[in-house]
Amino acid sequence: MELNEFKDMFDKTSNSATQTSPDIAAIIYLDTKGPLATLERKLKLSIYIFAVVVVLFVGNFLFHGHRALTWYLLYAILFIEFIFSVFQYGVIKQIRSNTGDVKHNLTGKLNLLQKIYQWFLPVHEGLFLLMAVLLEISMYYHLDINFEGWSKVNPVLRIAAYALFLTGQYLLKRSTLKKHYLQYLEKLQNLVKQL
Amino acid sequence: MSQRELHSAFISLVQQHERIIYKMCYLYADNADDRKDLYQDIVVQVWKAYPKFRGDAKFSTWLYQIAINTALSYISRNKRSIVSFIPGETLPEMADTSINTEHDEQLALLHKSIACLNEIEKAIVVLYIDNKSYEEMESIMGINNGALRTKMTRIKEKLKKITKTNSYGTE
C-alpha cells in the first residue's frame, strides 16, 4: 500500500477514536507527574530550603558574630549546593521548554546536556578541592580553634580523608547526573542522528 | 487581553486543533495511561508557551512544533522504546463498529508500519499525511525542504517494504 492511500485512513483513525475530551481548563493548572516535572519540583524545593538555611546562617553570623572558619566553610558548602541547585533548576527548565522547530529544540537540548556532562563534575569537584586547600591553609595559620584537633592528625591521613571525601562526592554526583540526565542525553543523541 | 480572555481563547483554540494532539498521542504513546499523560503534557506545554505566541505562524504549525517536541521529550524520559502496536493486537480505544473488517486490517497495518519507523520519521509522516506543505513541514521540523523531500522518498520506500513484510506476516 502506498503512503498516499494512508492519508484518509489516518484521518479516520484519529477522528474515529472514541476519546472523550479531557477538561483542558483543569489540565493546564496541573503539572504532569513525569520525572522531569518531579525533578523540577524537587529542585525548586531544595532552592527554597537552601535559601532559608543561608538566611539563618547569615542571621546567626550577624547577631552572634561567629567568626570561626567552620562557619565560613559550612556557609560555602551550602552556597555551592544552592548554586548548583539553581543551575540544575535552570537546566531542567530549558530541557522542558518545547517551543521552536524540532531540529533547533533537540540540538539545543543536546548541546546543553553535553556541556553539563563536561563541566558539572569538574567544577563541583574543583570547588570542594579548593575548600580542602583553604582548610589546610587556615590550619597552618591557626585561624580556627575548632580545627586544632584535626591539624594534629597525620597529614597523610588527612590527605587520605580528603581524597575519600572527594571520591565519595564525585561518585555521588556522577550517579545523580547519570540518573537525571544520561537517559535523556543518549536518547537525544539518537534523535539528533535521525535528523 | 485579560487573563480570562486569554484562557478562553486558548481553550477554544486547543479544542479546535485537538486532533493534532491526539495524533501525537496515538503515535508516540502505546497505552491509554501514557496517552493521557502525553496529552496532558502537550496541553500544559502549549499553555505555558501560549502568551509568547505572536501569530506569525499558523496556530496549527506552532502547535505541531510543541506537540512533536513534547512527544520526543516524552519518549526521551520513558526508557522503553515505543512500539505502538503488536501484530494481531486490536487497536485500543480506536474501535469503530462502522468500519469494516478489511478497513480495520488496513488500519492496523498502517499503524504497525508507522510504528516501525524511527521517531523523526514518524513525525514527518504525520505531517505529510496531514497534508502539510513542505514549507510548513520545514518550519515545524527545522529540516530544509530538500532534505525533507529526500527523507520523504526514503520513508515511502521504507513503508512500502514494511507494509509488504507485515502483510505477508499476517496472511
| pLDDT reported for residue A167 | 93
Does residue B96 share a domain with residue B66? no
- Put simply, the answer to whether B44 touches A19 (Cβ < 8 Å) is no
Does residue B65 share a domain with residue B109? no
Does residue B75 share a domain with residue B32? yes
Domain count of the fold of chain B: 2
C-alpha torsion B63→B64→B66→B68, nearest 10: 160
Domain end point (choices B60, B82, B104): B82
Does residue B148 share a domain with residue B100? yes
Domain end point (choices B82, B113, B132): B82
Does residue B93 share a domain with residue B138? yes
Domain end point (choices B66, B82, B98): B82
Q: What is the chain A residue with the closest CA to B81?
A: A187
List the single best residue of B61, B80, B118, B120 to mutate versus A (max A Cβ within 10 A): B120
The pLDDT tens digits for B49-83 are 888 888 778 889 999 999 999 888 876 665 444 33
Does residue B71 share a domain with residue B2? yes
Does residue B56 share a domain with residue B35? yes
- Of B110 and B22, more confident: B22
User: Is the complex ipTM higher than 0.90?
Assistant: no
Domain that holds residue B13: 1-82
Does residue B94 share a domain with residue B76? no
SS (H, E, C) B80-115: CCCCCCCCCCCCCCCCCCCCCHHHHHHHHHHHHHHH
The pLDDT tens digits for B19-43 are 888 888 888 887 888 888 888 888 8
Residues 36 to 55 of A: which have CB under 8 A from any B CB? 36
How far B142 CA lies from chain A's nearest CA (Å)?
Answer: 5
Residues 87 to 146 of A: which have CB under 8 A from any B CB? 95-106, 109
Does residue B70 share a domain with residue B20? yes
Does residue B75 share a domain with residue B9? yes
**Chain B contact set for A12 (CB, 8 A):** 96, 99, 107
Q: Which three cell numbers stand for residue B62?
A: 506552532
Instruction: Give the one of B49, B106, B156 whose C-beta lies nearest to A99's C-beta.
Output: B49
- In order along its 195 residues, chain A shows pLDDT tens digits of 566 666 666 665 555 544 556 677 777 666 666 666 777 787 888 888 878 877 877 777 777 765 666 677 777 777 777 888 888 888 888 877 888 899 999 898 888 888 877 888 888 888 888 888 888 888 888 777 777 788 888 989 999 999 999 999 889 888 888 877 777 788 888 888 888
